[in-house]
Structure 1
Amino acid sequence: MKIIAVVFALAVAVSGLPHDPVLTKLDSGLRHQYVEGADGLPVLADLWVKTSDVAEAARYNPLVHNQYHLFTAANPQVSQPLLNGNTALLEASNFNASLQTAVLIHGFQDTVISPFNSVVVAAYIQEDVNVIVVDWSTGASGLYTSAVLNTPTSGIAVASFIAWLSDASGASLDTFHVVGHGLGGHQAGIVGRNLGGQIGYITALDPAFTGWVTNDNKFQPDDGVYTEVVHTSAGLSGYLADLGQVDFYPNGGVDMPGCITQDCDHARSFHYFAESLVSGGFTGNRCSSYLTAMLGQCYIRGTLQMGGRDPKPGNEGIYYFRTYARPPFSRD
């Protein structure tokens, strides 16, 4: 009878333990926050990392699951697959080591055919350039918390792929331009960091805000030779404060002209960037801080063009410019 009592007491004690214990917190703020899903609608995310989140993230192996799609002027619509370590496949492709290579990294719940990729690829291949679209949708799908956890591991794998591609083809790392949107914006920085800051040009387009304020893996100014960030939904879908060597806050970084949804604001970053690849424009006025940029009160001497195909090493600071509500967006 005494043994039965002890067993019963242990059962009660175990049942009192949390079924899915919390391991850490992505943010110091509210536990549940809304993030933007693939369809543009808000998704309620739990920013407390639980055992189940880690288990879900562990099922993603970027060395196996990530895919790399090459587009060039010779194959602008149908991609050619590239595999890390497969030199024969590389040699049979249209990859040209003498050209600039753009590497595109999508965001949360996006895929290889997401608007970010389709818009930017179409702009890039109007001239001779290698465009490699990274499909890390296996790691970017599911719960937001798990996607945040998968962002650094995918970034390490993409860095490994670029290192192999550079060695196998002879393409110099300073001819690479890594461009990421949302979670992909931070991942672009992680890629550069894992290549010793040698990537010539890194652009983060409205890098994610939720889960990244105190995250050590967020985008950093020295992730590449030249780093640039474009904020179009600052403090909402996109990061609030400056992150790169150069940060642009179009229209103050929030509420883009012509947009009535947060999803539209978030997407404007890659639409502005794509237009800059084709026609330039978007000349920013220098600001004293990101707060004055958000207010549009920028009177410091100096201007700089946003985006474009070529990096602008040696420049730094925060810039503001205005756009039209419809394309062409540039007022220049």
Structure 2
Amino acid sequence: MYSNYLGKAIGRLLADLRLFGFPSNQIHGIGFSLGSQMLGYAGNTYFDITLEKLWRITAIDPAGPCFSNSLIVEQIRSGAADYVEVYHCNAGGLGTTSVLADVDFFLNDGKVQPNCHVGFIPGFGESDAARCSHKACIRYWAYTVTHPGTYLAWACDSYKDFSDGVCAANQVTIAGYSNPGNASGVFYASTETYGVI
């Protein structure tokens, strides 16, 4: 896999941009799937060159295959930027199950998204359902760019507790583009509440 080489190249490119006046505290890296994992290498490389951290990294459903069983230093993680946020939509499928960042958002159950059903016959349609759930993360996050504050997320230990209302009194933050960047831990949000499925 070449994700480490590509990620390091991105880090060097961003370090070059800094020389042209782009300050570290205004660089926001956004990646999807394998691109999310590359941003871990990019953030570390950027720091090695500049001794400054990127402002923020948003990792949208970071790739799981080939990464879930790898060392933590080979994945996107807390510390790769001043603030790292991860959005999970297909954990255990095409996305990682690992809790990696300053804040990890599990949208719906974080595994299978609404309207991304496996089908009636086991073994058939599972890859389509995984792709559907994986891609849904992009749609959800992109929606928040023009609809700020859409997804409220609650700190919670499990999706079951979240869906049963056990976490209703817990810390609340905003998931997506307008995430204020001051929450840490594991949060759950529902996209169905807002009609975005």
Using the size of structure 2 for normalisation, the TM-score is 0.82
**Who is 2:156 aligned against?**
287
2:155 counterpart of 1:155: no
- Name the SS of the counterpart of 1:296 in structure 2: helix
User: In structure 2, do the counterparts of structure 1 residues 274 and 198 end up closer, same or farther at CA, with 3 Å as the change threshold?
Assistant: same
Structure having the higher strand fraction is 1
**Who is 1:273 aligned against?**
141
223-232 or 314-323, larger mean C-alpha shift? 314-323
- Name the SS of the counterpart of 2:57 in structure 1: strand
Q: Which has the larger radius of gyration?
A: 1
2:24 counterpart of 1:173: yes
Alignment check: 8 A CA contact 2:155 2:172 kept: yes
Alignment check: 8 A CA contact 1:251 1:322 kept: yes
Which letter maps to 1:201? R
- Name the SS of the counterpart of 2:192 in structure 1: coil
255-264 or 175-184, larger mean C-alpha shift? 255-264
What is the deviation of 1:214? 3.2
One of 176, 185, 188 as aligned partner of 2:39: 188
Which letter maps to 2:196? F
- Name the SS of the counterpart of 1:193 in structure 2: helix
One of 71, 81, 85 as aligned partner of 1:224: 81
What is the deviation of 1:256? 0.7
Q: Map 1:71-110 onto structure 2 (within 5 A).
A: none
Structure ranking higher on relative contact order (CA contacts 8 Å, 6+ apart): 2
Q: Map 1:183-262 onto structure 2 (within 5 A).
A: 183-196=34-47, 198-216=53-71, 217-260=74-117, 261-262=129-130
What is the deviation of 1:310? 6.1
- Name the SS of the counterpart of 2:196 in structure 1: coil
**Who is 2:126 aligned against?**
none
What is the deviation of 1:311? 5.1
* Identical-pair percentage: 24
What is the deviation of 1:328? 5.2
Alignment check: 8 A CA contact 2:174 2:180 kept: no
Using the size of structure 1 for normalisation, the TM-score is 0.50
Distance in 1 (alpha carbons) for counterparts of 2:89 and 2:13: 30
Give ranges in structure 1 of 5+ residues lacking alignment: 1-148
Distance in 1 (alpha carbons) for counterparts of 2:180 and 2:45: 20
Alignment check: 8 A CA contact 1:205 1:269 kept: yes
CA-to-partner distance for each residue in 1:23-73, whole Å, 9 max, x for gaps?
xxxxxxxxxxxxxxxxxxxxxxxxxxxxxxxxxxxxxxxxxxxxxxxxxxx
User: In structure 2, do the counterparts of structure 1 residues 295 and 189 end up closer, same or farther at CA, with 3 Å as the change threshold?
Assistant: farther
Alignment check: 8 A CA contact 1:152 1:190 kept: yes
Which letter maps to 2:107? P
What is the deviation of 1:215? 2.0
Which letter maps to 1:284? A
One of 275, 294, 304 as aligned partner of 2:173: 304
| Paired residues, number | 176
One of 169, 183, 188 as aligned partner of 1:315: 183
Could you list the structure 1 runs, at least 4 aligned residues long, displaced by more than 4 angstroms after superposition. none
Alignment check: 8 A CA contact 1:286 1:319 kept: yes
**Who is 1:99 aligned against?**
none
